[in-house]
Structure 1
Amino acid sequence: KLIYPIVAFSIIAIIIIAYISINNTEPISKTGYYLDTVCTITVYDMDEDEASEAIDKGFETCDSYEKLLSKTIEGSDVGRINRAKGEFVEVDNHTVDLIKTGIKYGNISGGVFDITVGRLTGLWDFHTNEPKLPTESELTYAINHVDYKNIEIEGNRVRLSDPESQLDLGGIAKGYIADRVADALEEMGVKSAVVNLGGNIVGIGKKPKGEEFVIGIERPYSQRTAIIGTVNISDSTVVTSGIYERQFELNGKIYHHILDVNSGYPVKSDVEAVSLVSKKGMSVDCDALSTICLIIGSKNAKELIEKIDNVEALLVTTDEKYIVTSGMDFKEIEE
C-alpha cells in the first residue's frame, strides 16, 4: 500500500518536446508554483490577453484546490479530517469525489494503494540534507493505522473511524487538480493548450495546424537531460512516476519514496518508472495507477493496465527493458 505526499516534486517524470507550429498567434506560456511543484500552462491560437486571462484562471484553480486537498495547509479539508479524531467533518464536494477515487483504487489494487498513509509518509523525509530511518516502533505504529476501509462518507461528511489514521491524498491530488485546470481553461474558451503540473501532462485539443502534441518521456536518472522516446497526444493525459524521483542514500543503501505499508519501507519491485496515457479527464486515474504499477511489478502491472479501458502504459524495468501495453503508441528514440 502506498501513496506519495502532495509535496512530491515529480516534474522530473515528463518533459514537453516543443515543436511549436505557429498559426496567427504565438503560444502564450506562464509558469507558477503550486503543490510544491512547477505548473506551466501553454495556450495556443488565442489572443494574448484572453490567453493570459485563461492561464491566470488555471493558476487560481491550482491554488483553490491545493487549499482544499493539502495535508499540511492550515484549514484544508484533509487537515480537518485528520485532526477530527474520528468525528465527521463536512467538506467540499470535490474533496469527497477525490476520496472516493482513492477508495476505488484501493479496491482495484487489492489494498496496495491506500490513501490513509499519512502517518507513514510523515516518517520519511526525502527533502532533508540529513536523512534518517524511522524506528521499527514508529513504523509498526504507523502501518497499524493504515486502512482505507476506515473511511466513512455520508453525503459530504467524512470521518476516519480509526482516530489515529491520517489521510494523505498526495498520490492522486496532483492528477485531480490537473484535470480541473484543464476544465477551467476550456470554460475560458481555450481550444488548444498543454497543462504541465509537476509532470502530470494534459493536452487540450491539438496544435493550431491540427498536429498532435509531442510529449517526451524522460530517461530515468537523467536529471531531465535525456528522453527515451515520445508519445503523441490530443485531448489526452500523460502521467509518469518513478522510484528515482525522490530518494536518499544512507549507509550505502538507497531509500526511495514509494513505500510499502505492509513493511513501512520502500517497496521492492522490478519497475523503476511507468508512463501512462489516457483520455483527457483521467489524469487522476493515471496518478493512482502509476503508483500501483510501481508496487506490483512489471508482469502484474501490464496485466492490470490491459484490463482497464482507455489507459495504456510504458513500463521501464530496473534492467532497462521497455514493456508496453497493446495500445501504447510509444516511439523509442534510437541511441
Structure 2
Amino acid sequence: MLAALAAAFLFQRREGSPESGYVAVREVAGKPGRYETMLSVVGTDARLEAVARNKSHARRMFQQAVEQMRMVELRMSTYREESEVSRLNATGSQHPVELSEHTLRVLREAVEMSKLTGGAFDVTYAPLRTLWRRAQQEDRLPGADAIEEVLAAVGHTKLVFEESRVGFAVPGMEVDLGGLAKGYAVDLATEALQAAGAEAGFVDVGGDLRFFGLPAPGQRWRVAVRSPPGVQEPFALSVPACAVTTSGDYARWFQVGDRRLSHIVDPRTGW
C-alpha cells in the first residue's frame, strides 16, 4: 500500500498537479492503449482508466471527466467553506439558500432514498456525525439525552424545498451528501469519458466504482473485495459494465472506551 501511494505521489509530481487543472496521464503497465490518471477529489483518492488512441487523447478525455468531479466537489463538499452545502449548513435554518441544479438533484434523490429505506439513509444525519466525532475525541459515549437532543435536528422531512432554494425547518440542522456525492461524481465522470470517445474503462472514487465497456473482448471486470477479519479466502466479483460499491465496519471504524463502533450511524436511533 505504501509503495502504491508513493508511486502515485511521484507520478503526480512528475506529470503535474490535477488540483492546478493539469491532468497527469500514463499508460497502464502491460496494457497497450489503456491509460490512467490518479488524483484526490471529494476528500478521497480517485483513479480513472480508459482506452484511448494515444496519451494526448487520454488527457483530453480525463480532463473533461476530472472537471465534472471537481464541479461536484466545489458544490457539495463539507470540507470547503465556500461550497453550496457548507453555505446551506451555515445559514439554512435562517433562510432558504439558492442551490445549483446539480446540488438540488442530489438532495432530491437523497430524500427519495430516505423514503425508500424508511429513514435508514438520511443526509440530515450530519449532527449525529458531529456528536460521535466529539465522543471519540473525549473517549466518552454520549448519553441518551444528548442523542435525543441531536435527533431533534435530524430527518429528511425537515428539509424545506422552495423551487431552487432549500432551507431547514429547525435550528441545528446540517446535511452531508457524502453518501451520494461520490457516486454522482463517478456517474458524471463516466458519462464525460464516454462522450469524449472512450469505449471502455472505469472510474474509482474512494471505492465507488463504475465500469463501462469490457476490459477485453469476451471478458468481464474483476473487482477484489477486502475480506473481513477471520476470513482467509479472497473474494472477487466478476461483473459486466455496472457500478459497484461496498462499505464495512471492518474497514472504517472507531473506538470509544472499550466499544468498537462502525462509522455507519443509524439516523433513526443515533447509534
Specify the alignment match of 2:87 in structure 1. 80
1: distance between equivalents of 2:53 and 2:200? 8
TM superposition outliers: structure 1 runs of 4+ over 6 Å: none
Equivalent residues of 2:222, 2:236 under 8 A apart: no
Pair 176,195 (structure 1): closer, same or farther in 2 beyond 3 Å: same
Correspondent of 1:172 among 168, 171, 180: 180
SS of equivalent to 1:123: helix
1: distance between equivalents of 2:248 and 2:221? 23
Instruction: Specify every segment of 5 or more residues in structure 2 that has no aligned partner in the other structure, as ranges.
Output: 1-27
State yes or no: 1:55 paired with 2:58: no
Pair 164,54 (structure 1): closer, same or farther in 2 beyond 3 Å: same
Pair 40,80 (structure 1): closer, same or farther in 2 beyond 3 Å: same
Bigger Rg over Cα: 2
1: distance between equivalents of 2:179 and 2:109? 11
SS of equivalent to 1:112: coil
Q: Deviations over 1:186-237 (max 9, x none)?
A: 1211111111111111111112434222222221249xx9731322222x11
State yes or no: 1:116 paired with 2:142: no
1: distance between equivalents of 2:81 and 2:151? 25
Q: Deviations over 1:128-154 (max 9, x none)?
A: 8x5624532442321111010011222
Equivalent residues of 1:40, 1:196 under 8 A apart: yes
SS of equivalent to 1:244: coil
Correspondent of 1:101 among 104, 109, 121: 109
Instruction: Specify every segment of 5 or more residues in structure 1 that has no aligned partner in the other structure, as ranges.
Output: 1-18, 266-335
Equivalent residues of 1:151, 1:160 under 8 A apart: yes
Pair 148,131 (structure 1): closer, same or farther in 2 beyond 3 Å: same
Equivalent residues of 2:119, 2:268 under 8 A apart: no
Return the structure number with greater helix share.
Answer: 2
RMSD of aligned Cα (Å): 2.4
Specify the alignment match of 1:261 in structure 2. 267
Q: Deviations over 1:35-73 (max 9, x none)?
A: 221100011243221112212322222222111111231
Specify the alignment match of 2:247 in structure 1. 241
Higher normalized contact order (CA 8 Å, seq sep 6+, divided by chain length): 1
2: distance between equivalents of 1:142 and 1:46? 54
TM-score (norm 1): 0.66
Return the structure number with greater strand share.
Answer: 1
Specify the alignment match of 1:190 in structure 2. 198
TM-score (norm 2): 0.80
Deviation at 1:184, TM superposition (A): 1.4
